[in-house]
Structure 1
Amino acid sequence: MNLDFTQILPSIPYILKGIGVTLQIVLIAGILGFAFSILLALFKISSIKLLSWFADAYTSVFRGTPLVLQLMLIYFGSPQIFGFQIEPYAAAILAFSLNSAAYISEIIRAGIQAVDKGQREAAMALGIPYRKMMSNIILPQAMKNIFPALMNEFITLTKESAIVTTIGVTDIMRRAYIVGGEKFSFFEPLLIAGLIYYLLVISLTFIGKTVERRMRRSD
């Protein structure tokens, strides 16, 4: 083994700057994906066949193909399809939000269907409109039940965000790769990148468990 971390130490601040890029992509994509997933989940339980078919087909396509393929189709295929090049940062957010929506919609659908049917029947008996029933009664209860699964999806999204290096986004992984190319030594900077991702995941896990405990106390 011929490891020399001393030559990488001056480049660590440069690699650490990628944390902001990674978190921005993950947060924005997570919020957009979550919003779209609620709509998809409602489509899936809808009595309108066209809406449920669309939601099921969408989920099937995005869960059945690799995320890196979806990212490359959006980025490298945009000039051919749309006539202009989508910026790497925007392409990453779009790909991650569309992909996460497919997975989260299944989680939300399961959470909605897990809510006691009596809640819905009581709301309908009281004449509460469907939109208010979902937003004020059903969805809040479902969110409490599925929060751990949502947090796991967010953690997975954080780790999978490393693939944006394939389209040139200067995230943690890309910066580590650049440092490795400059120093002609890739193991050390990539190991540092791995440590950063590990600490991010540990932090997110701790935050998730803290929020989950507080939600349980509020019941």
Structure 2
Amino acid sequence: MFPDLRNQGGDMELRFFEIYRNPEYLWLLAEGVTLSALVTLAGAILGFAMAACLAVTRYERIPVLHWIAAAYVDFIRNTPLIVQLFFVAFGLPQLLGYVWPFWAHAVLALTLNFSAYFAEILRAGFQTVDAGQHDAARALGLPRFVRFFKIVLPQSIAQMFASLNSQFIFLFLTTGVISEIGVRDLTFAGLYIDSRTFRSFEVFITLTVLYILVSLAFKGLMRLVEKRAFRWKGAR
């Protein structure tokens, strides 16, 4: 009644050469890796700056603004990235009447997404600073602004750097959704090659390896940044 499929799996032939022998496909993959990495870095840098503002607003409990910041963080963290991406790419241009390239929409969506997650990590880091250090800074007569940027912020970032790094890598691995709006990222390149070669297994194995390599490169870069920026942490 049913066909015998027991020996069919052994007949599968892997044909990676259809990818690496084609200059067009290699260029698409290189372009995709570069764009994915640059869009992620841009979103992370802008998102971190925005996250710092959000975290400070909530930590200092600035009237009214800290409620707005809390609502924003909860909204972003409880909606899928792809929904945020579609809203930024198709909803905002209609509401505000502007035209941007799709990669710019992707950067904006990632910035908004990164900012909410980074803000919560930073806020948790602010709360780890010992109260005695606040008291000592006040006893020295340091202004509130100086206390925060000279004492609280550096220690918080150093304390939570591993969490920020892990969240950054995780969000990089989810950026494949930007291909849904036509951004020629790594996932877009893989889907294009798959549609031409019909070698899905080989294509997605290649994408997996490339995503792993970029993630490892980012981890190495972040480890170097941590060692250079927080030398005092290891000396304590």
- 2:215 paired with 1:201: yes
CA distance in structure 1 between the aligned counterparts of 2:62 and 2:156, rounded to whole angstroms:
22
Deviation at 1:46, TM superposition (A): 2.0
Contact 1:75 1:85 (C-alpha < 8 Å) held by counterparts: no
Q: Which residue of structure 2 aligns with residue 144 of structure 1? A: 158
CA distance in structure 2 between the aligned counterparts of 1:84 and 1:45, rounded to whole angstroms:
34
Deviation at 1:181, TM superposition (A): 1.3
Q: How does 1:3-152 map to 2 (within 5 A)?
A: 3-9=14-20, 10=22, 11-152=25-166
* SS of match in other structure, 1:110: helix
Q: Which residue of structure 2 aligns with residue 155 of structure 1? A: 169
CA distance in structure 1 between the aligned counterparts of 2:155 and 2:96, rounded to whole angstroms:
41
* Structure 2 gaps, min length 5: 1-11
Query: What code does the residue aligned with 1:8 have?
Result: I
Q: Which residue of structure 2 aligns with residue 217 of structure 1? A: 234
The percent of aligned pairs where both chains have the same amino acid is 34
* SS of match in other structure, 1:114: coil
Query: What code does the residue aligned with 1:115 have?
Result: V
Contact 1:68 1:163 (C-alpha < 8 Å) held by counterparts: yes
CA distance in structure 2 between the aligned counterparts of 1:167 and 1:128, rounded to whole angstroms:
49
Deviations 1:77-96 (A, max 9, x none): 13321123332111111111
TM-score by length of 2: 0.86
CA distance in structure 1 between the aligned counterparts of 2:146 and 2:223, rounded to whole angstroms:
29
Q: Which has the larger radius of gyration?
A: 2
TM-score by length of 1: 0.93
* SS of match in other structure, 2:142: coil
Which one is further off, 71-80 or 22-31? Answer: 71-80
* Structure 1 gaps, min length 5: none
Q: Which residue of structure 2 aligns with residue 181 of structure 1? A: 195
Moved over 3 A (4+): 206-216
CA distance in structure 1 between the aligned counterparts of 2:173 and 2:14, rounded to whole angstroms:
25
CA distance in structure 2 between the aligned counterparts of 1:47 and 1:75, rounded to whole angstroms:
32
Contact 1:72 1:167 (C-alpha < 8 Å) held by counterparts: yes
Query: What code does the residue aligned with 2:30 have?
Result: L
Contact 1:21 1:171 (C-alpha < 8 Å) held by counterparts: yes
CA distance in structure 2 between the aligned counterparts of 1:149 and 1:106, rounded to whole angstroms:
11
Deviations 1:107-134 (A, max 9, x none): 1111111000111122122221111111
How many pairs does the alignment contain?
219
Q: Which residue of structure 1 aligns with residue 5 of structure 2? A: none
* SS of match in other structure, 2:127: helix
CA distance in structure 2 between the aligned counterparts of 1:101 and 1:160, rounded to whole angstroms:
15
* SS of match in other structure, 2:64: helix
Deviations 1:146-175 (A, max 9, x none): 010011111012111111100111111101
CA distance in structure 2 between the aligned counterparts of 1:51 and 1:79, rounded to whole angstroms:
26
Contact 1:41 1:108 (C-alpha < 8 Å) held by counterparts: yes
Deviation at 1:2, TM superposition (A): 4.2
